[in-house]
Chain A
Amino acid sequence: MEQPSFKVGILACSGIGRLVSTVTRQAAYHAHELRPEETVLLSSGALTAAEPEHVALLERYPFIVVDGCRPRCASHIARQHNKEPAAAIYLADVLAATRIPLAGERRRALGENGNRFVEAVAQRIVEAVDRIIAEEIVSTL
């Protein structure tokens, strides 16, 4: 696939209160490792403060929201900035599909199953990145 001339933003909630917060954060890092040239990490913390550099990134690139829990805070950030995400991943959906048991996992340091869940979420992110890039290619050729 041809190298894209643009990037895809990854906006994970990256919160702190729940296990899934850690999973979204680690999945965003992992997806960025898998597609380093094609993606840019958007900081939820900076966007909640409307930090201009990060707002500019949100304005510039199509992006994927990764929501950990029910308030869907990453999606809220997108709405707050009047931006429609190109894709949305909700961890409950990934968990329902994979049925990875998470009992005993800790938000401060994930164990084997927590890391399997991170891998599954990261794969969903990468699939969305590849689709967005492909869509851009077929729209511009």
Chain B
Amino acid sequence: MAQFVCLQPCLGINHAAATIARQACYVVAEDLLPGQIHLGCAPALNAHVQEDIDFIISDFVICLEACEKNCAATLVKREGGNINLVLSVPQVLKEEGFEPEKESPVFFAPEHPAVQALANRIADECRKALGG
């Protein structure tokens, strides 16, 4: 069983799904599974910040992708990290009844139903990885 899960969101800026995923990561890390989640920062990993390299090598890594370009997984793969699970954020949100492509990407409150729904789905996957 993994000791930590690294959530690696794509951090895109033009898609609402990317903003929802970023916010959901905070909800998982701070509210749902505190102390068990590392937040993988794509630009820091790209700049070879050691902490972020450690996350993708040592943790169970979940990539959160806002579109089909799969930027998070592409980066993690290039940097030699684990890719244990790739979640398509639009697909998860669609299953939960949300259509993020119609929304502005600027901001989603952590309490937003789409953020909460995605956070709960991510947390379910984290619990499986953590053996909880």
CB of B110 within 8 A of CB of A29, answer: no
Q: Give the interface size bracket for A toward B.
A: 20 to 34
User: Chain A 20-40, CB within 8 Å of chain B: the 1/0 string?
Assistant: 010001101100000000000
Residues of chain A within 8 A of B9, CB atoms compared: 16, 45
CB of A16 within 8 A of CB of B75, answer: no
CB of B26 within 8 A of CB of A43, answer: no
Among A14, A16, A109, which residue has its beta carbon within 8 angstroms of that of B13?
A14
Chain A interface mostly: mixed
Number of interface residues of B (CB under 8 A): 35
Residues of chain B within 8 A of A76, CB atoms compared: 43, 46-47
Asked if A48 is at the interface (CB within 8 A of a chain B CB), the reply is yes
Residues of chain B within 8 A of A71, CB atoms compared: 44, 47, 49
CB of A49 within 8 A of CB of B13, answer: no
- Contacts from A to B (Cβ < 8 Å): 12-17, 21, 25-26, 28-29, 41-46, 48-51, 71-74, 76-77, 80, 107-109
